A and B are shown apart, each in its own frame.
Chain A
Amino acid sequence: MPIPDLEVQYTKIFINNEWHESSSGGKMPVLNPASGDVLCEVEEGSPEDVDKAVRSARAAFQLGSPWRRMDASDRGELLSRLADLVERDRLLLATLEALDSGKLFLMAYFVDLVATIKTLRYFGGWADKIQGRTIPVDGDYFTYTRHEPIGVCGQIIPWNFPVMMFAWKIAPALCCGNTVVIKPAQQTPLTALHMAALIKEAGFPPGVVNVVPGYGPTVGNAIAQHMDIDKVAFTGSTAVGKLIQKAAGDSNLKRVTLELGGKNPIIVFADCNLEYAVQQAHSGLFFNQGQCCLAGSRVFVEEPIYEEFVRRSVEKARAKILGNPLVPGVDQGPQIDQQQFDKILELIESGRKEGATLECGGAPWGQRGLFIQPTVFSDVTDGMRIAKEEIFGPVQQIMRFRGVHEVVQRANSSQYGLAAGVFTSDMDKALTVSSALQAGMVWVNCYNAMSTQCPFGGFKMSGNGRELGEYALNEYTEVKAVTIKISQKNS
């Protein structure tokens, strides 16, 4: 059960393990999207606060600093300790997350918080296993590589999985020995600030993690442009991803990793387990109010089962219960804010206009809060806006296909390439299609099956670089080759 009448403890900027007020004096209101009420105000970071944070992160990264001198195994221990603290405060964090983001409390408790804890523990385990190599070069030399931390890492995270995205970013960065300046989304700063308090409690030295809440055009931009940040990692929209990459190019060529949008195809063959495929496609779209970069927002169904698939999908959509995300029994909460709300309704309207069949939903729900009815469109064609643009809402598109080659080609004709799903009982089809799809993650007979050990990221304009798994370490490591002259090399 969520904590009733939860008081928000942390609302300031976190730099050098201390709480600061905004340099500009600004404050940001934090809204509860289920009610429209203001939960509290949070200090609004400014570019000067980013400078302060970067100076603190840089100092913490100096050669000889406690963080640089620390045994790698102790860095791992700190991450484990942080995981323990998150576990201790799991109920509080889940409640806070549900209030701030509108996601279902039960989801926050059983999915977001569990993933957060597991991610911290997973990367805690990697810390003292990041190994360079000794290399048999030609000549009388002894050569080895050191896998060093990159330095000060700027991290900009979105509002759809606030605390989980926070863990996905800081865990690999810290396990490799970097220091961090992280900007949580302006819509959802609260769990990030609580995590900052836990980071201090766990014993991370001052300056290793700095949290600066604020807006994209000010704080986000200051991070992307900063001459003393060595790397920026951004999760968010493709439009802003482009700005980040430009800013990096304009400033100091900082390393860039991006995790952006998707318009992910789910391909359902006639030989699948139909009920299971309907269910997976449904949760693959509607999970988190449709606000997932991974949302399976183009469902391609093979002709013979198309009608039945649509019928069952609509039935499922109609059965969804909307309401207060803190209350058990509710299936879907509100969208995050007015801007998203308006955009989703606009795209729904375009679906109607461009001739898709509106099977159910299509309008707002409820007296207050930003709720949208679960919506299903059938007879969608590839040229429609709802088939091309990322909606980020509870709107499912179902289209028909006839042959394997056709569907693979249609699935791949997107600027995006984040994830894909394939439902079939035929092994050949599964292996062929999964090899052919241009997507960073392909799920066969499942969807959204994620785990910290497995890399996550996009092809094409869904981003570059991989998060999670061993692969994530590459993004937070700078390789240095050291070559020592010796008088006589022997094998």
Chain B
Amino acid sequence: MLRAALSRTLPQISGISSCRYSAAAIPAPNAQPEVHYNKLFISNEWQDAVSGRAFPTINPSTGEVICQVAEADKVDVDKAVKAAKDAFRLGSPWRRMDASHRGLLLNRLADAIERDTAYLAELETLDNGKPYAISYCVDVPMVVKCLRYYAGWADKCEGKTIPIDGDYFSYTRHEPVGVCGQIIPWNFPLLMQAWKLGPALATGNTVVMKVAEQTPLTALYIASLIKEVGFPPGVVNILPGMGPSAGAAIAGHMEVDKIAFTGSTEVGHLIQKASASSNLKKVTLELGGKSPNIILSDANMEEAVEQSHFALFFNQGQCCCAGSRTYVQESIYNEFVERSVELAKKRVVGDPFNLKTDQGPQVDEDQFQKILGYISSGKKEGAKLMCGGGAAADRGYFIQPTIFGNVQDNMTIAREEIFGPVMQILKFKDLEEVVERANDTMYGLASAVFTKDIDKAHYISSGLRTGTVWINCYNVFGAQAPFGGYKMSGNGRELGEYGLQNYTEVKTVTIKVPQKNS
């Protein structure tokens, strides 16, 4: 199985930067995968919402309803929290389990997901609109890698013994935090679920997860695998539902010990306020961005253009870390713009189940309208529309790959997160200037520099106030490397060893001894 995966694996499977897949390697997708699970998942059981309500989930390629999904609200959240709390009580199977066995369960989950790669990729594409080739080659494999990575950490979370003053023996225990509320977005449904479950479960927590109302289906299928591989009941509970009801109920719950939220900065504010108003639960946030991508005149032009294109347009522009302010040094600006436009015009927009498609629809009507609104503001405020600029089809939420040149820092499209296939190209002269302009934002999620000069690379990467800096690449992710934001792009880091800290509560134990010796 491994060898098959390795031969299918791409040169940079851990990075989604250059997906050099061939259509021949990907099996033909079923564009109408069956939905098996559309209810709430609590205590390893499928349940209707107490209210009996349900909501439709839409196929963004067509605007049509895929199916109805049970809609959780406060009462259901209470049930789920109760189940998670029960699974966390001292002496429970989950608390008594060897850490290595927690790791084994995560590995088994990864195996089961790998087994069902094709189906999961189909369901993801149906619900989210991302091209199937990407779901299959990138999203699902990265999910598997993330879970395997955290499976490995489970029995390696170590406290310390500490040489304290006095006749004492002192040590720390790295304990799980408890019941963790997790609210995930719609842009990478499967991957965001894995980023949240991996560290939480490896460290022994229990989870109440609310999935995005736009894209609940793949998360619910994963719930069935969680049960299949043997996680005890109540360890993971998954609730489809709306932000203002189910999401708010979790954020404000007095018995949820921690909340992790990925989504817009706007809602991030609400989450933090809700924690403060309720029980001061620990909060980690992964929010929006307006990430600067800085191209110096000595950069490899072809690579810079290609990577910048990928940095913005990947996932229909729906990435928190999208390189949405492309700063190009004066002397190469014209050529860069020309080449970028050429590349954007080649982008194939269409049915995501077609393996030749580069770009699918935006996720829903709201996003679609919002993006068109931004494009409109760009035109109004005097940016130069170089290509695209409108809807790309008559049905579904497709938008043409759009590029604005001559963008100024104070334009709306240069300041606000668009979350769509709209690229902004700005001009700069020198390094100090561009670092200052790049930092002049409330966001601070990611950034990039393209240059051959080692000194310039260091200067800029040290100066940028962002959680990730990519040098001569973009969107390179690995389960091993931490990811998160400065400033209003969030707090806390996900992935890597750092990701464990958010899910760990440190307890210091100090024992009196008759005579301490070193």
Contact = CB atoms under 8 A, between A and B. Distances in A.
Interface of A: 71-74, 76-78, 80-81, 118, 121-122, 124-129, 131, 142, 202-203, 427-428, 431-432, 435-436, 451-453, 470, 484, 486-490
Given A81-B2, A142-B458, A435-B169, 9 more contacts: A127-B152, A128-B480, A129-B156, A452-B100, A470-B158, A484-B454, A487-B458, A489-B462, A490-B463
B515 A432 contact: yes
Contact of B151 (A125, A131, A484): A125
Given A73-B479, A74-B6, A487-B459, A428 B100 contact: no
B5 to A, nearest CB: 8
A470 B511 contact: no
Interface string B439-454: 0000000000000001
A221 B427 CA distance: 68
Interface of B: 2-3, 6, 13-14, 99-100, 103-104, 107, 145, 148-149, 151-156, 158, 169, 454-455, 458-459, 462-463, 478-480, 497, 511, 513-517
Contacts of B454: 484
Given A203-B6, A432-B515, A129 B455 contact: no
Nearest to B145: A73
A458 to B, nearest CB: 19
Contacts of B2: 77-78, 81, 202-203
Contacts of A203: 2-3, 6
A428 B158 CA distance: 25
A80 B517 contact: no
B77 to A, nearest CB: 34
Contacts of B6: 74, 203
Contacts of B14: 71, 73
A129 B158 CA distance: 14
Given A125-B103, A129-B497, A432-B515, A76 B459 contact: no
A81 B111 CA distance: 12
Contacts of B155: 122, 125, 452-453
A486 B458 contact: yes
A470 B497 CA distance: 14
A431 B517 contact: no
Contact of B153 (A125, A452, A490): A125
A71 B10 CA distance: 12
17 contacts: A72-B480, A73-B478, A74-B6, A80-B107, A80-B148, A121-B107, A125-B154, A125-B155, A125-B156, A129-B497, A142-B458, A202-B2, A203-B6, A431-B511, A436-B517, A452-B100, A453-B156
Contacts of B156: 125-126, 129, 453, 470
A131 B497 contact: yes
A129 B497 CA distance: 8
Most buried by A among B103, B454, B458: B458
A451 B158 CA distance: 14
Nearest to A430: B513
A129 B152 contact: yes
Contacts of A122: 100, 155
B159 to A, nearest CB: 12
Contacts of B169: 431, 435
Nearest to A78: B2
Contact of B513 (A71, A128, A428, A470): A428
Contact of A435 (B145, B459, B517): B517
Most buried by B among A71, A78, A142, A202: A71
Contacts of A128: 149, 152, 479-480
Which 9 A/B pairs are nearest by Cβ-Cβ distance?
A125-B152, A486-B458, A431-B513, A81-B2, A490-B462, A453-B155, A128-B480, A487-B455, A428-B514
B320 to A, nearest CB: 24
Contacts of A436: 517
Nearest to A487: B455
A129 B480 contact: yes
B477 to A, nearest CB: 13
Contacts of A80: 107, 148
A367 to B, nearest CB: 44
A202 B463 CA distance: 46
B395 to A, nearest CB: 42
Contact of A486 (B145, B459, B511): B459
B459 A488 contact: yes
A73 B480 contact: yes
Contacts of B463: 490
A484 B158 contact: no
Nearest to B480: A128
A436 to B, nearest CB: 7
Contacts of A74: 6
Contacts of A435: 169, 513, 516-517
A451 B515 CA distance: 29
A455 B463 CA distance: 42
A202 B1 CA distance: 10
A245 B440 CA distance: 61
A71 B11 CA distance: 10
A131 B169 CA distance: 29
Nearest to B5: A77
A427 B511 contact: yes
A124 B2 CA distance: 14
Contacts of B3: 203
Contacts of A81: 2
Nearest to A432: B514
A456 B104 CA distance: 23
A71 B2 CA distance: 14
A131 B149 CA distance: 14
A1 to B, nearest CB: 26
A470 B158 CA distance: 9
Nearest to B3: A203
Contacts of A118: 100
B272 to A, nearest CB: 27
A116 to B, nearest CB: 14
Contact of B152 (A76, A131, A484): A76
A206 to B, nearest CB: 15
Contacts of B104: 121
Contacts of B513: 428, 431-432, 435
Nearest to A488: B459
Contacts of B154: 125
B149 A73 contact: yes
Contact of B455 (A428, A431, A486): A486
Given A431-B169, A435-B517, A486-B458, A124 B497 contact: no
B100 A124 contact: no
Contacts of B149: 73, 128-129
A17 to B, nearest CB: 14
Nearest to B455: A487
A76 B480 CA distance: 13
Contacts of A427: 511
